[in-house]
Structure 1
Amino acid sequence: MKRIALISPLALAACAPPVPVAEDFIPEYLGVETKLLDGDLVQFNVAMTKAREAANVQRYAECAAAQYALIRGYGFARHLRTNVTEEGGVWAADAVYTISPTLPDGLATIDAEVTVAACKETGIPTV
C-alpha cells in the first residue's frame, strides 16, 4: 500500500516569506544631531531605517545641513565629507558641511532654500 502525504495549501503558505507591503519601503527617519565644530564648520549625525542605499542617508544629512544653514541666516552650504554605516538595518551618516552667506568655492555646494524645498517635496525631514 502506497502512502500519499497531503499537504494543506495553508501549511505551505505558512512557510513562505511574508509578502512586502508599502510600509516596508517607507523610510523611518530617526533624528539629527548637530554639532558646531568651528564657526562655519558643522557636523551632522543622522540615522534612519529602510534606506535602500547609502545615498538615501547621505541625502537626509544634506537636508539637515540645508535647513541648518537657513536657521543660521546663511543661504549656502558646501559638503566636505560623509561617512555612512549600516548595522542591523539602521543606516547612519556622519557628515560635515561648511555654511556660508554666499556661494562657496567648490563643486559640492548646495543652495539651502532650493534643497530644503526639494526635501519637503520628497518627505525627507530637516533639522
Structure 2
Amino acid sequence: MTMRARLSLSCLALTALASCAETAQEPDAPFVPVYEGVETRLLDGDLVNFFVQMRGARDAADVEDYARCAAAQYALIRGYGFARHLRTNVAQEGGLWRGDAVYTISAALPAGLKTIDAEVVASACAENEIPMV
C-alpha cells in the first residue's frame, strides 16, 4: 500500500469518527433538565457547601448554575444579600450530574471577582425555572 493510500484511509477513518461525534451531541435536542435536589452544609460561619444533583444537563455550566441558584436563595433565607463563589467541582456518571460548590455569604458586597447579588440571581433563577433551596 502506498503512503498516499494510507493517508487517504486515515482521513476516511478520522472523517467517520468526526461524523459520529457530531451526531452523538445532538445540538438541536431540547433542554429538559431534571433537578434532583440540593443539600446544604454550613462549614463555618459564612462558608457554605452546596451539593446539587440533576439529569439532562448540557454541560458543567448547567450544574454550576443550579448551585449558584441554591447559593443565592440560601443567602436570602439567612438575611444576606451577597455571596462569593469559591469553587465548584462537577462530575457526571451515567447521566447523573453532581455539583459540589462552596460559597461565602455576606451582608455587604464581598471582595473578589466571583460575587453574586443574591436578589438578582434568585430572580434570574426563577425566570429560568431553576429551583432553589
TM-score by length of 1: 0.81
Following superposition of structure 1 onto structure 2, how do residues 38-57 of structure 1 map, counting pairs within 5 Å? 38-57=44-63
Count of aligned residue pairs for this structure pair: 107
Structure 2 counterpart of 1:118: 124
State the superposition RMSD in angstroms: 1.6
Distance 1:25 1:116 in 2: 20
In structure 1, list runs of 5 or more residues that go unmatched.
1-19
Residue type of the alignment partner of 2:85: H
% of aligned pairs identical? 69
Distance 1:61 1:26 in 2: 17
For 1:29, which of 25, 31, 35 is the aligned residue? 35
Give secondary structure in 1 for the equivalent of 2:109: coil
Residue type of the alignment partner of 1:121: E
Following superposition of structure 1 onto structure 2, how do residues 1-127 of structure 1 map, counting pairs within 5 Å? 25-127=31-133
Higher helix share: 2
Question: Offset of 1:93 from its aligned partner?
Answer: 0.3
Whether contact under 8 Å (1:24, 1:50) holds in the other structure is: no
Question: Offset of 1:125 from its aligned partner?
Answer: 0.4
Residue type of the alignment partner of 1:52: R
Tell me which structure has the larger Cα radius of gyration. 1
Distance 1:125 1:114 in 2: 15
Distance 1:74 1:28 in 2: 28
Distance 1:50 1:93 in 2: 14
In structure 2, list runs of 5 or more residues that go unmatched.
1-25
Whether contact under 8 Å (1:40, 1:98) holds in the other structure is: yes
Give secondary structure in 1 for the equivalent of 2:72: helix
Question: Offset of 1:25 from its aligned partner?
Answer: 3.0
